[in-house]
Every structure is written in C-alpha cells, then in structure tokens.
Structure 1
Amino acid sequence: MLFIPYSIFYIPFDRLKVVIKIMSDRNPPPSSRQLLILLGIFLILIIFIIQLISFLVDWGITYIPISWEQQLGSMIVPIYEEKAQDSPQQQVLNQLLDRLESQIDNESLAKRNYRVIYIPENTVNAFAIPGDVIGVFQGLVEKINSENELMMILSHELGHFFHRDHLRGLGKTLMIRVAIATLLGDKTFLSNSMATITETISKTHYSRSQEYQADEYGLTLLNKTYGHVAGATDFFENFEEKETLNWVFFSSHPTSKKRVKRLNQLIKQRQYKIGAYSQLDSDLLQLD
C-alpha cells in the first residue's frame, strides 16, 4: 500500500475560507433584481409571441379556402358525431337551420353545407365546428322557451361561420399552446393534438367584438326569417342571473347584460318589429 502523508492535503482553515470566498465571488448568485429582469424579459417575449400569432392567424384565415376547412372538419366532426344521435330533436334542429339558410344570400352560402348535430348531454352550450357543423347540447335545448329564441342562437352560430371566428379561435388557441409547449419543452401536447383540438373547439373563447358581430348577424337573419325579432334577447335575459353557475356558454361569452343592451340598441336603430312567438316543435321537447 502506498502511504501518502496527511500533511500534503492539509490546508489551514483561514486559507480555505479565502479560497471559498474567491470562488464564490467569481460566480455570485443572481440578485433579486436580476431575476425580476429575466422574468420580465420572458413575459415580454411570451406576450410578443401571442400578439404575433394573433396577427398572423387573423391575416391568414381570410385566405384559407372553405374546402380546406371542410377537410379539417372531416377529421374532427366524427368525434362529435360519436356523442350525437340521429334523433327527432336533431331532425327538428336541422329543419330550423334550413329555414335560416334560405334567408342567406347565395354568395355567402356558396360551397357551404350547414347541419346540426344534437348531443344528449346536460352542458348548456352551442358551438361552431369546422366543416359547417353546429353542435347543440341537450342542456341548452332544455332551457329554451320558444322557437324564436332557439333560432337566434342558431343564427348567432352561423354568424361565427360567416366571420370565420371558429377558425380564428381554434387557430390562435392551438398556435399559442404549441408555442408555449415548445418553449417549455412539453412534448405531450403534440402527441395528444386531436384531443386538444376537440377540447379547444367546444370551449373556444371568442373576443367581445366577435361575439357582438355574431349577435348582430343573428339579429339580421332572425328578422329576415320571421319579419320581426321576437326572442332575440330572451336567452340572455332569462339566464342573466345564472351567470355565476358553471355553464360553458357563459364562460366563453360576454355578459348577458351588455349583449341585451347592445341588441336592443340595434333593434331600435333599425326599427325592427317585435312580433308573435312561435312555439317549439313537440318533437324537440321529447328530451331524453
């Protein structure tokens, strides 16, 4: 065995403290101010990326052919169709949608093939799906008191199609999530992309201006269909006090009070009439 004297490794304690201090001075820990600066830079980068994505999506959506959107829908719609059923309710909803379509000008309707799928779940919501499909939940139908009220909701969703809000919302949400996942090195997002898409569609949050535009489109179409706008504000008025509940519809839309006020202003400005209500079809009331 080779013997090495202990004294070779002995360093006086005072000298050891000096060595440690010199080493720590060369790599001092970051100060609170430095950490705040780095955090601020990171947040600014995130905000810039989000704004850039929003701009690019808004610019690019207008150039996407409807045929491309329908191809995207062919991959997404079957997922919702598995939850739906060919029922009397779905047939009635499509008949109502056909009446609305007959009032849309040919240019806007060109290459479109709108239809409704009825999903027997208690969720209170309706939403636009790429591929010219409107999803309507049973929970929403249960809350409707008249045909006019339901037609306003369907017209509103057609307004999202007209302005292509459903693609803007989906595109922005997915692109932002991809960007954040890339920055954080999260690989699970891409592996579960289809599940993420379907979740995003049914919970898409539109901007206030997008919702107001869809409301205005719906109001115009409602007036063309009936010659009056009875029921235009009923849904929002009836459930204004219930916005504190966990309803998907209200979590992704502006407050009912503001929407009712704006719709009433439009009705007054355009001098729309308030006519008689139409009752809901009896088949639609045969809830499961």
Structure 2
Amino acid sequence: MLKAQQLHDIESLQKVCESHDNLKLKLNWDMLRSRGSQEPEDFFMYESSLLVGFIGIYGFGDKVELCGMVHPNFRNNGIFTKLFQQAIEACKNQGFERILLNAPADSVSASEFLKKLPCIYSISEYQMKYNHTPLECNNDIVLRQASSLQDKVAAIELDMKCFDMTEEAAKSFNERVLEEGTYYIIEVEGKTVGKIRVYREHGESWIYSFAVYPEYQGKGIGRKALTNVVLDEAKHVQDIYLEVEIKNEHALGLYKSCGFEQFHTQDYYVYKG
C-alpha cells in the first residue's frame, strides 16, 4: 500500500505535468489508492524531497498498463528511462503476457520517448465527460451492490464475454478491483444482466467495467443503467467521467446519448521488448 505522502507527491507531480503540457494523464487513482500487491507496482525518483519522476503499472488480468511522468524541470536527464527499465523488469517478473504503454495523444515528450522503444501502436481511447444533459430515471431496472459469490461469478463471466478475457485473467482482475469504489450488478426482472463500477473521489466520479451480457444488448438496458448511475452520481459530484475505445462505435453512441462528450484521447502501444 502506498503511503499518504507518496500519494500526495504523485498528485502534486501530476498537476505540475498536466498544467505544463496542457494534457490529461491516466494514473488510475482508484488503483493507486488501493494498492495491495506484494509485488512492486510503483517506481519513484526523488531529488531531495521533491518527486521528479514516477511510473505506475496497472494489472488487468493477463495484461498490464504503464503510465508515468517526469517533472518539466528535470526532463532529458534519463529519469524516465531508468524508471521505465525498472517497471518493465517488474512486469516481466510478474509474468504479464501483454504490456501496454499508455500516453496522452497530445504529449510531445511521450511521443519522442516511444519512438526509441520496440513498440507498436494498438488502440486509442476517448476520455469522456458528462455535460449534464437532462435525463430521466428508469424504474424497470435494478442496480444493487455486488456482494454474493454469484455476483463475483457473474462479474468474471461478463468480463470473459464482453472484454474477451480468459477465465484466469478475469478472476485476477476482479480480485483486484471488486473492492475499489462501488460495484453494481444490473438486474432486469430479477435476472443479472450486467455490471458497472463507480469510483468517486475529490468531487468527481469515474465509471468503469460497464458490461451487459451479449444476449441482453440492443434492448436499451445499458442506456437505462448508465442513466440511473449518472443521475445518482450527479447528486454527489460535479464531474462524471468514463473511457471508451474509439473504434467501439456502439458504446460511443450510447455514451453520447447519455450526455457524455469526449475531451481527451489516450493512446496505447504494445511493448515488444
């Protein structure tokens, strides 16, 4: 588990980098604040008491994502290269089959660094923000917090069917995130049809792990569930966010219909080293 001072230092460095570069970093704060693995997942570089470099690795089943940053005043000194080498070694030691490098699409420094690596472009995701479009609550679906063994089994099955995870990867992923934020099971007429996870902190909410069984898709269930979650979160926070792969036109259309607008893009590269 990261110490409070480390979390504070990461947040401070993130603000400096985002302000300087006019971009948004994806540091998966829900995972940073609930670190529990005995394996190394976070790598730091300090100058005196100032954090000047950081990389975090985030496991999702059999794949892992890397994202990091270096203070603008300390760049071009090999800091990120050193941290990156440590992170890659940790990923390999932990047996991750697929390593994804995450970079904001508009980051010039990230682009230059990636050119030096054995990696290939994979996908891009939109980060989307709710624009407070008027929505109406739907009473014909139920959202309840996941709690039972059956709920955990359903969450694993949904990840396998909707996100193309292996059973082992889905189990590993759910063990890590089930307690992060609020994990809802979506029900229609007493039947489990999907899931959605919400992480709320510092006046904003992020929506993750949204999935509906394929046989229940195309029936408006996803839109109703998302609408109800958004309406509930809007009572507690000012800003609500989610992410979607750019080429997923169906999901993109759904999110736009619920009042979400894209405001930033994250690129992912597969590491081949």
TM-score normalised according to structure 1 size: 0.25
Question: Larger % of strand: which?
Answer: 2
Question: Larger % of helix: which?
Answer: 1
Larger radius of gyration: 1
- Which structure has more relative contact order (CA 8 Å, sep 6+)? It is 2
